[in-house]
Amino acid sequence: MKIEVVQLENIRSHVKSTVPFARGFNCLVGGLGCGKSSILYAIDFALFGDPVGRSYEYLLRDGAESGKVTVQFTQNGKSYKLTRGIKRRGKGISQDFDELKLFEEETLIASIKSDAVAEQLKAITGLEKELFREIVWVRQEHLKELLDAPPRERQKRLDELFGLSDYETAWSNLAGYQKEYEGEKKAYERDPDIVGIEKLSMEYTSLAEEFTRLEIELQTMSRRLEEAKNTFEEADLKLKKLEELKVSIDELKRKEAKLQASLASIEDSSASLAEKIEGKKAIVENLKQRLTTMETQIQSCMEKLKEIQIPPDQPIEMLRRHLLTFDDQIASLKAEQEAALRNMQADQKRLSSLSTENRCPLCLQPLNNEYKTSLAQRIQEENQERQKTISQLQKDIEELQQIKEKASSAISNLQSLIPRIEDLKSRISDESKALAELSKEFNEKQSLENELRSQLEKVRMEIARFDVSELETAKRNRDQAFQRYYSLKSELQTMENRKDDFARRLEDIKKRIDQAQEKLESVEKLNRIISIVGSIRDAYRSIQPKLRSEFVKVLKNFVQQILDNLVGEEGSPINVIIDEMYTPYVLSETGTEREASHLSGGERTLIAFAYRLGLGQLIMQSKTGHGLSMLLLDEPTESLGREDGSIDRLAEAISRFKAIEQIIAVTHSEAFAEKAEHVIRVEKEAGESRIFIEK
């Protein structure tokens, strides 16, 4: 893995920084607190998401609501980009999983879920969080941490990194299994079934013999029961047939009762119909008599109309018009009478005025007494004639009125009688129809009554043929057969229950014997397992020192090669040996072993650096199959000074070390930075970090 670019947004003092890295020795140089180490912490956060020993508060810039880190790297010729963000939520700060994305070239291969990103990252680079933080990233003041650790603690930590502690863990875990298997074996050995297996076998044999005898008795009892069952079924079948016959007889009796009830009902109904028929006949006869009377009255009215010269065979409306003719004639006579009366009154007035008038009011001729007398006489004669006419007219009027009244009475009677006659005729027709229907129904009832009497006679003959005593005998025979069958069945059931009980006891004993055999087999298996587990534990206990010895040999070679590479041909050679506790010693020219704690600061730093690199190479080889390709160093010049040249020697040694593809070191030492192939200067202005590329 080689990091190409790291981009920081609102991370510590970095508002927006882009940091490019190249192959070889890269050095981030700057003063204290300018933001150098923040870049390494940002790389760790981008790769694994957890703040190293601190909260996210350490990463997010003061006053910022969110921050983001982007790391671009290459692996096996492919380019990758990983982004991860943090966000302020209320009083706390947490990851912003919407920003979590891993790209291969331009393709998104994982996002949002940390586990998915971690899985993809491990598949691509072989790195996981613990390996990165223990081997790849040497944090500030951690370079000599392993050298200064107590031997036992150092051995434990490195055994864990090499995977050797798994053997110790497996050895310890297997002890628990071994103890568990031994306890299980002891429990089996105390099991009552195993202890008493011979007694169980004898009991099983005794029960099996008794079970065989019981089966023979059961066969005999089954035959007797079958015979009793056949006898019972025959008796039961006969009884059922008789009971079915009894049911049919009972049904016939119910039918008899029903027929009797129906016959009585029909007789009552026939009597009622006969009464209704006589009533209807009387009603029809009465209506016919009333019709005859009304027809006589109509004939009388028509005779009266003939007498007054009115044709009677006309509709009532036409007859009514004749009455209007009488009214017209009477009105005409009264008008004539009134006119004569008025003329008579006028002449009477003229007669009265003649005595006082001397001139004719019409011709104005003088009137003499003779003329007046003659005129008066003529007027009186005319008035007498008029009086006769008036009297005759009055007589005619009275005659006409009498005729009119006679005609009106006859017409009114006709008008009243005609609809009544029609109504009587309709009623006579309806009553006659009802009478015919009643007669028909009466005849049907008579026919049905005869049919019911015939059916009743047949039913009574069928009922008389049934003998009840035969049914009682069949019941007694059936009950006796059932008692015998039930007694034998109960006895057989008791024997079967005993058989089932024997079978259960045999099955239970057989199961216990089988279980005891299985338990004995389990004891044998447990013995083999305990032996195998003991052998495996012994193997784990013996292989761990051997593997550790092999790791120590390889580690010693790696460390020595790295030291030779770091010192170079010009420097004094440093020969190193490493014991089983992973403790490095420097071997002097005289063969004296010196611990790292007795070396000078510069030598200790070189030893620590070579030791870490050797461990890194070996662990990466064992874990991922390839060597250490990247190394992050945070202030590796601790305990080194410019005066004795130790800083220069370390920087010179790192610059010459080509076994690692990319080294990124953070330092405040300008002398150390001078030896780097690529120098990135970090400065801080107004609380904001700035990145400058120098070479």
CATH number, domain with residue 347? 1.10.287.510
Q: Give Cα separations from 634 to 60, 133, 504, 533, 613 (angstroms).
A: 20, 12, 80, 47, 14
Whether 211 is covered by a domain: the verdict is: no
For 47-75, what is each residue's pLDDT tens digit? 999 887 667 888 999 889 999 999 999 99
| pLDDT number for residue 499 | 86
What's the whole-number mean pLDDT along residues 285-292? 88
- Residue 359, pLDDT > 70, answer no
| pLDDT number for residue 360 | 59
Q: How many CB atoms lie within 10 A of CB 163?
A: 13
Looking at the DSSP assignment, which residues form a beta bridge with residue 584? 578
Domain's final residue, options 428, 445, 462: 428
* 378, HSE (Cβ side, Cα atoms, 13 Å): 8
- For residue 456, give both structure tokens: 């009743």
| pLDDT number for residue 80 | 96
| Mean of pLDDT over the chain | 83
For 478-515, what is each residue's pLDDT tens digit? 888 889 888 888 888 888 888 888 888 888 888 888 87
- For residue 580, give both structure tokens: 């089983």
Question: DSSP of 403-437, one letter per residue?
Answer: HHHHHHHHHHHHHHHHHHHHHHHHHHHHHHHHHHH
- Residue 390, pLDDT > 80, answer yes
* 405, HSE (Cβ side, Cα atoms, 13 Å): 6
Domain count, the chain: 2
Q: How many CB atoms lie within 10 A of CB 324?
A: 10
Q: Which of 80-84, 270-274, 653-657 has the highest mean pLDDT?
A: 80-84
**Of 90-104, 174-188, 432-446, the least confident:** 174-188
Whether 53 is covered by a domain: the verdict is: yes
Between CA 613 and CA 615 the distance in angstroms is 5
β strands within 120-260, DSSP E:
137-138
For residues 463 and 249, the answer to whether their CB atoms sit within 8 Å is: yes
Q: Residue 62: which domain range?
A: 2-141+599-693
Instruction: Name the more confident of 45 and 644.
Output: 45
Whether 221 is covered by a domain: the verdict is: no
Whether 337 is covered by a domain: the verdict is: yes
| pLDDT number for residue 73 | 96
| pLDDT number for residue 43 | 94
- Residue 576, pLDDT > 80, answer yes
Length of the chain: 695
The percentage of the chain sitting over the pLDDT mark of 90, rounded to a whole number, equals 18
Whether 542 is covered by a domain: the verdict is: no
| pLDDT number for residue 377 | 82
Looking at the DSSP assignment, which residues form a beta bridge with residue 594? 586
- For residue 137, give both structure tokens: 């990233």
Between CA 141 and CA 667 the distance in angstroms is 12
For 265-277, what is each residue's pLDDT tens digit? 888 888 888 888 8
Q: Give Cα separations from 566 to 1, 303, 652, 671 (angstroms).
A: 22, 170, 8, 17
Whether 271 is covered by a domain: the verdict is: no
Whether 22 is covered by a domain: the verdict is: yes
Whether 685 is covered by a domain: the verdict is: yes
What is the phi/psi pair of residue 94, to 5°?
A: -145, 175
| pLDDT number for residue 367 | 64
Domain's final residue, options 428, 463, 498: 428
For residues 581 and 613, the answer to whether their CB atoms sit within 8 Å is: no
| pLDDT number for residue 356 | 65
Domain's final residue, options 402, 428, 454: 428
When pLDDT is cut at 50, 70 and 90, the band that residue 682 belongs to is: very high
Edge-to-edge strands, sheet with 24-29:
137-138, 630-634, 662-667, 24-29, 678-685, 688-693
- Residue 2, pLDDT > 90, answer yes
Instruction: Name the more confident of 444 and 414.
Output: 444
